[in-house]
Amino acid sequence: MRTPAIEDRFHGSDRYDLAPVTTTFVQLISLVLAAIALVMGAYLLVIGRRPWRGREAQAVAPRVRLLGVSYIMVFGSAMVQIIANPRGLGAEALGGMMVLGGAIVIVVVLLESKAARTPQL
């Protein structure tokens, strides 16, 4: 007796037919969230102020602009990967940009914590 293959078992079932739709839905949600983060990175880079801090009277630190650059690198690369689905060297380059952007975020967080600990004279 022949055991049905996996394709035979799932063929015609609703779960098997909706897999591409679910993947597309998840990719669209990821794309929208990456676009929002990309706009936030551009805001940090151009305006240079963090909107969650309210109105800052003092000059903006360069680390805020670095944070904007890292947002653009990480989420811009993510958007390109979602849309273009690159392979080979292109995919490695985009992954490298994401890692570099993440490293910049770590440096910015360390600088932020160091600035918070420094007493104001």
> From first to last of its 121 residues, what are the pLDDT tens digits of the chain?
555 555 555 555 555 566 777 888 888 898 898 889 888 888 887 877 666 666 655 566 777 788 888 888 998 898 898 888 899 999 999 999 999 999 988 988 888 888 777 676 5
Domain positions in the chain are: 6-117
- 37, 3 Cβ separation under 8 angstroms: no
What is the distance between the alpha carbons of residues 31 and 82, in angstroms, rounded to a whole number?
A: 7
What is the distance between the alpha carbons of residues 47 and 50, in angstroms, rounded to a whole number?
A: 9
For residue 47, give the 3-state DSSP assignment.
coil
What is the distance between the alpha carbons of residues 110 and 101, in angstroms, rounded to a whole number?
A: 14
Q: What number of other Cβ atoms are within 10 A of residue 89's Cβ?
A: 8
Rounded to two decimals, the pTM is 0.65
